[in-house]
Structure 1
Amino acid sequence: MDWNRVEGNWKEMKGKVKEKWGKLTDDDLTVINGNRDQLEGALQRRYGYAKDQARQDVDTWFSTLH
């Protein structure tokens, strides 16, 4: 699976994102709208992650979707 499928199925994926990162608000999810950079930025803001940590966390979560 590539990231385009996450973007294309964002309405379905929002629930999975919310399960993984419960601190993200519905507004965050609306702004993210399937955009990986936006997701990583939201994780940095809500969880205080460093950029590399946010990227790795998203990579790990994404690998579980296959």
Structure 2
Amino acid sequence: MTKLKFNGSWNEIKGKLKQKYAQLTDDDLLFAEGKDEEVLGRLQQKLGETKENLRETIAKL
């Protein structure tokens, strides 16, 4: 999977990610269309997870 696919709106997913990972801030989750790799990179640095694991987590939300 090369692009993030959202099963809901980004705001809903953002809220769920912040519930799951309390250390995330709104700045960590800034998203602009076409910038999914940038978001994944920030999350990867902050959470210490692989991009693939993060994609799977987001897809399940």
TM-score grouping bracket, smaller chain normalisation = 0.5 to 0.7
Higher RCO (C-alpha 8 Å, min separation 6) = 2
What displacement does 1:44 show? 2.5
Q: TM-score, normalised by structure 2?
A: 0.58
> Moved runs in structure 1, 4+ residues, more than 3 A?
none
What displacement does 1:48 show? 3.9
Identity of aligned residues (%): 33
- Cα RMSD, aligned residues only: 2.6
Structure 2 residues without counterparts, runs of 5 or longer: none
What displacement does 1:38 show? 2.6
Q: How many residues align?
A: 56
Partner of 1:32 in structure 2?
31
Q: How does 1:34-49 map to 2 (within 5 A)?
A: 35-49=35-49
Q: TM-score, normalised by structure 1?
A: 0.55
What displacement does 1:13 show? 1.4
Q: 1:12 to 1:63 in 2, by over 3 A?
A: closer
Structure 1 residues without counterparts, runs of 5 or longer: none
